[in-house]
Amino acid sequence: MAPLTVAGLRKRYGAIEVLAGVSFEIARGKCFGLLGPNGAGKTTTLRCVLGLTPPAAGEIRLCGEPVPARAREARIRVGVVPQVDNLDPDFSVAENLLVYGRYFGLPERVIRSRIPPLLEFAGLAGRAATGIRELSGGMKRRLALARALINEPELLVLDEPTTGLDPQARHLIWDRLMALPKRGVTVLLTTHFMEEAERLCHDIAILDHGRVIARGPARELIAAHIEPQVVEVYGEGAREWAQAHASGLSARVETAGETVFCYLSDATTLLAHLEGQAGLRYLHRPADLEDVFLKLTGRELRE
């Protein structure tokens, strides 16, 4: 059975319908990414899934249990890495794990035996006695990850696991997360880093205005929704150039500020043309998930 099935989830805060019928299912041992701009309903979906807020309509089955009716029983088999750090600042690294393990009703002996391998996994070996206030942001995130694994969960839920981390710290978290599906842990993460989703997720759902607007592996989403090549053109006169020439040379053109995005299947003709344009700079690259995301959710700011 799938570790998580969500069907027809609806939730409203005042006049705003935050979830307008969200449905998805996660296959066991896979990493599933929930993507969307701010306010798309990602965090609300997670809160519903964990039984922390009741949906107005819809069905949730988490680790075989109906939620919210048996959310507590379901959460016994789920680990959560929250978006905002909530480690216990008065405790050491090891005490954080010990106390958290007690919340699951685990015997003391079991928790203590799990702490050293978890610290090893999280790159925190030798830090057991360190206080939380002495940890860097990346170490705190890794400890939050270790803490979420103390109950050996079937499903690990991460809400924007690398927001605010530097590239080194982010790569280390990615590396750890990639190891989890191989151990049979199913992963559900939200992110608005497309690179993160492309690297980690076997399956992706793009959420906007409370609906799943696209679903599939990154490569399939790119193939289905967008031309395979992109040429970005910038520099003085890029907009004028675009008005005169771009649509004739590309399948689809988008302009954002001073940058022109030309989407197309074969860039040969366009690139030859651009070679002759003084003052224009350009970048030729394969289309990626970010292009799909921006096409589907628009380029306007969401605040």
Write the DSSP assignment of 95-119 as a string of letters: HHHHHHHHHTT--HHHHHHHHHHHH
Closest CB to another protein among residues 80, 119: 80
C-beta separation of 25 from 59 below 8 A: no
State how far the Cα of 108 lies from the Cα of 96, in Å rounded to an integer.
13
Closest CB to another protein among residues 111, 280: 111
Reduced to 3 states (helix: H, G, I; strand: E, B; else coil), residue 52 is: coil
Judged by CB under 8 A, the residue of 103, 125, 281, 283 near another protein is 103
Closest CB to another protein among residues 92, 277: 92
Write the DSSP assignment of 137-194 as a string of letters: HHHHHHHHHHHHTTT--SEEEEESTTTT--HHHHHHHHHHHHHHHHTT-EEEEEES-H
Query: Does residue 16 bind another protein (CB under 8 A)?
Result: no
* Upstream peptide bond of 68 is cis (omega within 30 degrees of 0): yes
C-beta separation of 104 from 76 below 8 A: yes
Q: How far is the CB of 80 from another protein (least distance, A)?
A: 4
Query: Taken in order 188, 193, 198, 199, is the CA torsion positive or negative?
Result: negative
Q: Footprint of another protein on residues 136-165 (CB under 8 A)?
A: 151
What would the x/- binding string for another protein be over residues 66 to 85, using CB under 8 A? --x---xx-xx---x-x-xx
Residue 287 exposure: Cα atoms within 13 Å on the Cβ side: 26
Judged by CB under 8 A, the residue of 38, 86, 113, 243 near another protein is 86
Query: Does residue 21 bind another protein (CB under 8 A)?
Result: no
Q: Footprint of another protein on residues 41-70 (CB under 8 A)?
A: 50, 52-54, 56, 68
Judged by CB under 8 A, the residue of 6, 35, 87, 270 near another protein is 87
Query: Does residue 105 bind another protein (CB under 8 A)?
Result: yes
- Residues at the site binding another protein, with contacts judged by CB under 8 A: 13, 50, 52-54, 56, 68, 72-73, 75-76, 80, 82, 84-91, 95, 99-100, 102-105, 151
